Chains A and B, each alone.
Chain A
């Protein structure tokens, strides 16, 4: 654990040393490897990384929806200081939707095609809140209006296929918010949408969560979305957190060579960059993660220790990076 453990006020979500693994016949594949982070109430944490870096699995593990044979192999997930990773299925279900809402990647497939959006909203509302059928319906109309669906009174009785992709994602957001959860896990909420609509949806998500006082864990591979939306960002690589810290710090002063490469690959308008930087090679497969730092085969600044010993998160400036380059201060302090 890094510095936040000593915070006075308790974080809303606290993930400690989370491990997610998939048993296969050729041994266990570790998809999320010793991941720790926290989210404060009302905060937006961006989680960024290439596909396969374990970001989505981290989200699924938190709400207890890992698909078998995937399972939590170690660590703790605390909501409001109470462990939820070891709860019985029924109690975890009560938390989903009520305490933690979710928005999935593809709005086209997230809604049940055989039920009207109104039916899906009211069933979610009455499952979690003690409201009558008609009260729930009114609340549903209100929510649809809030997410910006015109003609909500009429549209509530329409089926998902009668909405466009962007409108459907608005419905999905309404569904995630409808029982007033305090945390929303949004897994690539704009990836499947047209570029022109992405910004609208992100703005909407951010505004609604602020209005409702919900924190957000925003999983994405789009650094631009993070820069606009998040308060803090966690960069994941090969199932581990490479760097975590306030968005401004990470973007302007990336500490981990992987983050440096990641930032270098983004075109910037305000600065004339002669050419974009490309990270050589590709992320290792789960069955071939090298010993030591997972990034070492691609790292331009690799040295002996990186190949042998795995670095933990070392605090650097406002953020923390899992890189031996930044070990000096802490390591000396720890040994001293």
Chain B
């Protein structure tokens, strides 16, 4: 058990280090920060002074070490575009993105999973066909277009819901939440639907195909041959086995929601990290890009780690593995 966790943890650290290196390379070698900060007009003394101040004259590994130490303390330097510390900017934007992603993730799971199970079990019913058709359309509709259509219908034509922003927020310490006001909750509806729809269809299709796969296995046939009730065969045996592979991919998909929030936030002018990232890409604001990259990877690594632990809980073959039979797909 402990060996398993340690191994997974070390893997996570390794991935984080690799991403950190990419981020640092961005930081150090892409574009010329001095040109970006000083503009085209500067003399050599000014340049040297700034280079020394930013530590750019140090050897490569010293710079990387310094970057890593700073990054671990949440210090990613100063945003070129906003001329403020990156950490402060991100802290302002973080709650908006996390709240939106959380609602979207819960929606995607709570709706996608039952729909997937249903279409897997009743594969020939008309409702399954409807679900599948809708899911295919869902996969074919780009997220931004869903957002635009929702805005067109519910904000422009019907005027029921706001088309942009978070509504009123309440500060809980440094965390600004939209959960506590009516306008904040109303503002969440369209963006969270937009954000969850694509993941929802993916989860639906994934659960369905895994379910069909499991229903063909010998142990399900044998469970039927033992005369177990359909309910037990479907929801005890088939569903549990379906969840094992679904957990991994669903976990990754939920992580992807935070990254996909970039699109939704742009459409709804939602003041989160995604919008910040897009603005930074357009303005080549490298420190913010690097920080965002590190933060997103951190979220992914954490989710991956949790998924691995969940796997461990769900699959006894990992828990008590005697080496002979084992592993997972």
A and B touch in the complex (CB under 8 A): yes
Is A127 part of the binding interface, using a Cβ–Cβ cutoff of 8 Å?
A: yes
Q: Are A112 and B224 in contact (CB under 8 A)?
A: no
Note all chain B residues with C-beta closer than 8 A to A109. Answer: 217-219
Q: Which of B208-249 contact A (CB under 8 A)?
A: 217-230, 232, 236-237, 240-241, 244
Most buried by A among B219, B220, B240: B219
Is A229 part of the binding interface, using a Cβ–Cβ cutoff of 8 Å?
A: no
Q: Are B316 and A65 in contact (CB under 8 A)?
A: no
CA A185 – CA B174 in complex, angstroms?
A: 68
Q: Are B228 and A127 in contact (CB under 8 A)?
A: yes
Given contacts A111-B222, A113-B241, A114-B315, contact A162 B227 (CB under 8 A): no
Partner of A159, one of B227, B229, B244, B320: B320
Q: Are B314 and A123 in contact (CB under 8 A)?
A: no
Q: Which of A77-129 contact B (CB under 8 A)?
A: 93-98, 101-102, 104, 106, 109-116, 123-124, 127-128
Is B142 part of the binding interface, using a Cβ–Cβ cutoff of 8 Å?
A: no
CA A162 – CA B325 in complex, angstroms?
A: 8
Is A15 part of the binding interface, using a Cβ–Cβ cutoff of 8 Å?
A: no
Is A242 part of the binding interface, using a Cβ–Cβ cutoff of 8 Å?
A: no
B125 to chain A, nearest CB (A): 15
Q: Are B221 and A113 in contact (CB under 8 A)?
A: no
Chain A, Cβ-Cβ closest to B319? A159
Given contacts A106-B218, A123-B232, A161-B326, contact A114 B227 (CB under 8 A): no
Q: Are B320 and A102 in contact (CB under 8 A)?
A: no
Partner of B222, one of A116, A127, A159, A172: A172
Given contacts A109-B219, A123-B232, contact A114 B225 (CB under 8 A): no
A108 to chain B, nearest CB (A): 8
Is B317 part of the binding interface, using a Cβ–Cβ cutoff of 8 Å?
A: yes
Note all chain A residues with C-beta closer than 8 A to B230. Answer: 93
CA A127 – CA B232 in complex, angstroms?
A: 10
Chain B, Cβ-Cβ closest to A109? B218
Note all chain B residues with C-beta closer than 8 A to A97. Answer: 225-228
Given contacts A104-B222, A109-B219, contact A114 B228 (CB under 8 A): no
Note all chain A residues with C-beta closer than 8 A to B322. Answer: 161-162
Q: Are A114 and B320 in contact (CB under 8 A)?
A: no
Given contacts A161-B317, A161-B326, contact A127 B229 (CB under 8 A): yes
Note all chain A residues with C-beta closer than 8 A to B315. Answer: 113-114
CA A110 – CA B219 in complex, angstroms?
A: 4
Chain A, Cβ-Cβ closest to B238? A112
Chain B, Cβ-Cβ closest to A127? B228
The interface residues of chain B, by DSSP majority, are classed as helix
Q: Which of B141-180 contact A (CB under 8 A)?
A: none
A192 to chain B, nearest CB (A): 11
Most buried by A among B227, B229, B244, B316: B227
A174 to chain B, nearest CB (A): 11
A163 to chain B, nearest CB (A): 9
Is A226 part of the binding interface, using a Cβ–Cβ cutoff of 8 Å?
A: no
- The interface size bin for chain B is 20 to 34
A-B CB pair tally, cutoff 8 Å: 89
CA A162 – CA B322 in complex, angstroms?
A: 7
Most buried by B among A106, A114, A115, A116: A114
Given contacts A110-B218, A113-B316, contact A63 B223 (CB under 8 A): no
Write the A61-77 contact mask toward B (1 if CB under 8 angstroms, else 0): 00101000000000000
Chain A, Cβ-Cβ closest to B326? A161
A61 to chain B, nearest CB (A): 13
Chain B, Cβ-Cβ closest to A93? B227
CA A299 – CA B215 in complex, angstroms?
A: 42
Q: Are A159 and B316 in contact (CB under 8 A)?
A: yes
Q: Are A98 and B317 in contact (CB under 8 A)?
A: no
Q: Are A175 and B226 in contact (CB under 8 A)?
A: yes
Is A179 part of the binding interface, using a Cβ–Cβ cutoff of 8 Å?
A: yes
Chain B, Cβ-Cβ closest to A163? B325
Q: Are A123 and B228 in contact (CB under 8 A)?
A: yes
Q: Which of A141-159 contact B (CB under 8 A)?
A: 158-159
Q: Are A115 and B237 in contact (CB under 8 A)?
A: yes
Write the A184-218 contact mask toward B (1 if CB under 8 angstroms, else 0): 00000000000000000000000000000000000
B81 to chain A, nearest CB (A): 52
B264 to chain A, nearest CB (A): 36
Q: Are A104 and B320 in contact (CB under 8 A)?
A: no
Partner of A124, one of B228, B314, B320: B228
Chain A, Cβ-Cβ closest to B229? A127
Note all chain A residues with C-beta closer than 8 A to B316. Answer: 113-114, 116, 159, 161
Q: Are B226 and A104 in contact (CB under 8 A)?
A: no
Given contacts A113-B316, A115-B237, contact A161 B229 (CB under 8 A): no
Q: Are A127 and B227 in contact (CB under 8 A)?
A: yes
Note all chain A residues with C-beta closer than 8 A to B220. Answer: 112
Partner of A112, one of B227, B237, B320, B325: B237
Write the A221-243 contact mask toward B (1 if CB under 8 angstroms, else 0): 00000000000000000000000
Q: Are B228 and A112 in contact (CB under 8 A)?
A: no
Note all chain A residues with C-beta closer than 8 A to B232. Answer: 123, 127
Q: Are A161 and B219 in contact (CB under 8 A)?
A: no
CA A109 – CA B221 in complex, angstroms?
A: 10
Partner of B221, one of A65, A95, A158, A172: A65
Write the B301-329 contact mask toward A (1 if CB under 8 angstroms, else 0): 00000000000001111001110011000
B245 to chain A, nearest CB (A): 12
CA A1 – CA B228 in complex, angstroms?
A: 34
CA A172 – CA B222 in complex, angstroms?
A: 9
Given contacts A95-B227, A124-B228, 5 further A-B contacts (CB under 8 A): A94-B227, A97-B227, A98-B227, A113-B241, A113-B317
Q: Would you list the 3 A-B pairs with minimal beta carbon distance, nearest first?
A: A97-B227, A96-B227, A102-B225
9 A-B pairs whose Cβ atoms sit less than 8 Å apart in the complex: A65-B225, A102-B222, A110-B219, A112-B240, A124-B227, A127-B228, A158-B320, A161-B325, A179-B227
